Structure 1
Amino acid sequence: MNSYDKDRQSQLSTHKSPAQCSERETYHPILEKRLSHFFQQQTEQIHFTPELRSQILRKIHAPGFPQSRWLTTCSLALAASLILCALFTFRPVPISAPSSVVYQVGPVEAVSPELHNGGKLISLDPTEHHLLYQAAHQPGVMYTTDLADPIAHNTLVMHDAITAAWAPNGSALVATVATDTTALPLLAMIPTGQYMSPLKPEALAATWAPSQTQPITYMLQQAGKIQLWRTNPDGQQTQMQAFWPLSLTPRLLLWSPDGTQLAIVVSAAGSVSPTTLTQPCLEIYLLQMHNLHLQKLVQAGDFSIGALAWSPNSQSLTYEKISATKQTTLQTLNIHTKHIEFEVPIKATLQGWSWSPDGRALIYSDGGILRIYEAQTAHITLPKLTGIQDTPFWLKDGRILFLQIIGSSSQLAYLTPDH
């Protein structure tokens, strides 16, 4: 005998004949309760919106809900219909495994003599229209070139550059440049295709913020404190946003793609001098912009820090870790847990890397050979290439741009995906 039969037998034994109507009145709440419980369990297994589920359950359990058999049956039938509709409408869609992507050798582009004869790519602007590169054997001498016509649109834009960062729309660069007249570097503004214009503020590191009001972010260290400043493109309106009692030398600033966090790479503690500006970078700090909370992300050790890049989802930071014995590893750190998500040992010399637009893989140049690290299963195959492949950029449309060096000459080359 199941639990329901036991309940009913108990009620029949405790009620006399006048209770026959009471039996029917008792039967309906029990049935309603059991059916309601069943439907509630089923509801929890499907993707109702919270509002829809609450509305259905509120109607079933509402005080004073009519107890007549006809209304009860209709209400429960309506709930059952809604559940069946939801099961067919909102059932989860299975996620298929990513298809394989095979890359083919794409077109090549001739470049200016300055890049052709040993120049080095530095960065690609966010719109993927312009490249910044350094002339061979001339540290701090920078050019920009237009990918639409790399030879015709090639411009000398900077001397004595230390760092440079693109505006989000690719219209300009902001840089820090060394001068003979000041002890500290100065900010400089470089409209795309024009020579730099030094601005008034001194700055140890600078970048272009996603914000449109006072978009230039830069840092100083004075009196044992690091300071965060903002200014506009003409450098006339400056404002200190925050400071911290740390005698560090900020060397590189990098915004997360979502604009909520600022990675700060620093060198040794102590007062700023020409010497500290050339020392290796040792630590990485992370600044949360909504509350200006500064935390140490990477502690100093027996290594130095080279270049770094954010993952596309702003959840991880990849940086170049160079050991005391000059062994290089690409470390990818989860900024929330501070745990290493993965690391890529470099067998020869690291010559640039780039995240895929979907964040599933990294492409990097190890000793002049392009390689793929799949952070998630991506099934990516690269073709066999000739020459040296340097400084790859993974473009938003899936193509891969890199500098191909054959003998003593260089050219821009593309790999195109063949899905």
Structure 2
Amino acid sequence: MKTSRVRESLLAGARGLYLASASLAGSITLFVFAVVSLVLIPLGIGLFTTPSVLLAVRRFATLHRVQAGEWADVGIAVPYRREPARPRPGLAGQVARCTRMLKDPATWRDLQWLLAHMTFGTVLALIPPVLVLYMLYGWVLACGVWKPIYEAGGGEWYAFIHVTSQSAAFAAAALGTALFIVSLYVNRPLLRAHFLLSRALLAPTATMRERELALRVGRLEETRHDAVDSSAAELRRIERDLHDGAQARLVAMGMDLGTIEAIVEKDPAKAKEMIAKARQNSGEALTELRDLVRGIHPPVLAERGLGDAVRALALRLPVATDVDVELPGRADASVEAAAYFAVSEVLTNAVKYAHADRVWVDVHHADGMLRIAVTDDGKGGAVIGAGTGLSGVERRLGTFDGVLAVSSPVGGPTMVTMEIPCELS
């Protein structure tokens, strides 16, 4: 138990030294750059530099959040507003991005945290390593280092002890040992206090959470309306397919059977020919009904889950497709259906529009998020809203608060990433 406490104290001291040195240097540098960039906004230069500097500040703050969780078990939520899926290009887009970041309250809280981190935060972070290192200095003095300092005319002080003799040096070593014993009990709490101070400034406030919740509710209402419209369109498609396909064939079969009943005794050969035709129509009607059911909810999806359903999709593609699935359980049926049809649409795009020769599909679940990445070696140039069906995929995922990201430079490759928050059973 004692060895464990010593190790924890020394580790807290090392982490405090890091926070008070390397992290402090980063805080000062980013704060100065941010202030200079903000001052240059009226000149136009800041419109281009500010987003990059603020993005660096956010990454630095996010790293600190990770350290708070791993080093002191202090959770700090990320309060930044979500960037639009399709940012505006050019100068107008740059101005909009800069304005959007400056209107985000989390931006100004980050800058306040940088200021506090380089002052009060540094003091809290410095105490743990000082308690450890100051003990070492007391022992060094006790080993005789005090004497040449004293003979050179120096009046060395160790805390409140004036070291002018060996006995005073031993007293300094004793005081340093006492400080080290104190550090065994206070170093971890001091490090935690440092991160609690950061949480007070970096975590979203109640007002920010309410605003974020309102934005999320508005987005969900919008995607719900899209889902309702999509459902209505899907019902109309099913009705049209039934009317023009299976229903028409069944009506024709009924008429043929009536004719067969009337001529079976008079013209058996003709009746036999019509029976064969009716059998063919019944087979085609059954095939169309199966395709229709598969389009509504594929049987393999209901029976085997998303992983096997995606593998079945890949087997039907005319190009080589590698599928990697890592799902320790199953999501809700509605989530699986949304993910399945989203993957189906993306794979269709890869073959039909990108003219890909090879496709890679990765499906896995981590941190409460179902993540699907579809990559192809096609010609690229895919853009959400360009008529390739990706807008429909985005709306479908948005119903479940999911997101779609597309990276598709001209010439390829194209990578489509989908994320849906969900839990697996």
With normalisation by structure 1, the TM-score equals: 0.20
Higher relative contact order (CA 8 A, sep 6+): 2
Q: Which has the larger radius of gyration?
A: 2
| TM-score (ref. length: structure 2) | 0.19
Determine which structure has the larger helix proportion and give its number.
Answer: 2
Greater strand fraction, Structure 1 or Structure 2 = 1
